[in-house]
Amino acid sequence: MDVKQIIDYLAAYDGRPLKIMEVCGTHTAAIFKNGIRSLISDKIKLISGPGCPVCVTPTAYIDRCIEYASRENHTLLTFGDMMKVPGSSGSLSEAKGNGSVNVDIMYSPFEALEKAAGDPGRTYVVAAVGFETTVPTYAMMVQEAARRGIRNVKLVTALKTVMVALEWICENQEDVDGFICPGHVSVITGSDVYKPLAERYHRPFVVTGFEAEHILASIYRIVRQIETGGAAVENLYRNAVKDEGNRKAVAIMEEAFETGPAMWRGLGIIEKSGLYLREELAGYDGGSRDLYQDMELPSQCRCGDVIVGRINPDECPMFGRGCDPVKPFGPCMVSSEGACGIWYRNVH
């Protein structure tokens, strides 16, 4: 079918109401950019998932980063989207503004190695946040540090695996009918990793790219599977995603990291969803485990429901009223990849 036929089919859909989750924040942004909701039937509801690692980073992690950045002869290196995430007593941006911390924006984790090698009297602490997409880079960086004997580098990790979160959603959210799988993550994991979830929970999982026609095709394939009683994994992004994934990247990741429980801001602790440096690399760990404390969100903040697709962001009572991208309160408003931030820029 061509794109016009797919649009006509989805616009005319008149079956039972469906909820399809796009897990990745980049897909959420592309859906708004291309007006996809306006092209499909009102009976097909697109909901956002936990596709933004910054948004699910807990309070205790931010507090640990600020504590390191406050130490003498220490510098915290972070990507820019972490600066506004609120900790228990403010964000990194606020702490930097009042001159109480040493924080530098990095564009690659490997910057830490060159900085540390050139300034052995200072410890460079890397705020390592991300999903499977970025974990191999952090693994290679710390392995290179060990190879070169650079000891004044630390990682404070908030690295998580989307796959475990998807299993948690399948187990706890029975009304999600199908999943548009995260494209960037799938480049690393491959598409076959979704097969056990599709079989166990009898829901379709479709891997796709980020252009409008890619997303429309994935919605069409999910709807067709549901209509015919199917629950399979389909890979519509074969130019980037192999069924078996990037085995070399996965091997590098597994060499450096092991799984453990992790706090997801707004959701709570999910077992085996966190990634932590293995014992042989423990000297580079800046205290990443057991960061379970999270700010108790007020009852009117519905970020926990947004992250698992129970509500749309604009259904939260705080959306645009005490919580916006300039001064975010809830985690989903913090990052450009967060569902609330995307919705605010497009519907507010």
pLDDT in tens, 123-161: 999 999 999 999 999 999 999 999 999 999 999 999 999
Confidence tier at 303 by pLDDT (50, 70, 90): confident
Q: In this structure, how many other beta carbons lie within 10 angstroms of the beta carbon of residue 242?
A: 16
The pLDDT of residue 71? 95
Average pLDDT over residues 82-98: 87
Half-sphere exposure of 224 (CA within 13 A, CB side): 13
Mean pLDDT of 328-341: 83
- The answer to whether residue 294 scores a pLDDT higher than 80 is no
Alpha carbons 159 and 345: distance in angstroms, whole number: 27
Which of 49-58, 180-189, 191-200, 310-319 has the least mean pLDDT? 49-58
Confidence band for 185, pLDDT divided at 50, 70 and 90? very high
Report, as an integer, the average pLDDT of 106-111.
95
CA distance 222 to 232: 9
The better pLDDT of the pair 222, 304 is held by 222
Is the per-residue pLDDT at 113 higher than 80? yes
Is 295 a residue whose pLDDT tops 70?
no
Report pLDDT for 334: 81
> What are the tens digits of pLDDT across the range 200-224?
999 999 999 999 999 999 999 999 9
Average pLDDT (84-106) is 88
Q: What is the mean pLDDT of residues 77-84?
A: 90
Residue type, 341: G
Phi, psi (rounded to 5 degrees) for 262: -145, 145
Q: What is the pLDDT of residues 222-281, one digit of tens each?
A: 999 999 999 999 999 999 999 999 999 999 999 999 999 999 877 789 999 999 999 999
Angle between helices 3-12 and 212-227 (to 10 degrees): 50
pLDDT recorded at residue 55: 83
What local confidence, expressed as pLDDT, does residue 307 receive? 81
Distance, C-alpha 272 to centroid of its chain: 16
Q: How confident is the model at residue 57 (pLDDT cuts 50, 70, 90)?
A: confident
Inform me whether the pLDDT recorded for 285 exceeds 80.
yes
pLDDT bracket for residue 299 (50, 70, 90): confident
Residue 197 buriedness (CB in 10 A; 0-12 / 13-18 / 19+): buried
Please report, for the chain, the start and end positions of each structural domain, with discontinuous segments joined by +: 59-161+245-284
Computed over every residue of the chain, the mean pLDDT equals: 92
The architecture of the domain spanning 59-161+245-284 is 3-Layer(aba) Sandwich (3.40)
Q: Which residue in 39, 29, 32, 33 sits closest to 6, CA to CA?
A: 39
Return the pLDDT at 21. Answer: 95
CB within 8 A of 180, min separation 6: which ones? Answer: 20, 21, 22, 23, 24, 27, 206, 208, 215, 218, 219, 222
Main-chain dihedrals φ then ψ at residue 181, nearest 5 degrees: -70, 150
- What is this structure's pTM? 0.90
Burial of 117 (0-12, 13-18, 19+ CB in 10 A): middle
Indicate whether 308 pLDDT > 90.
Answer: no
Residue with tokens 């709807």: 223
Q: What's the mean pLDDT in 297-302?
A: 78
Task: Name the token pair of 126.
Answer: 């890397």
* The pLDDT value given to residue 348: 67
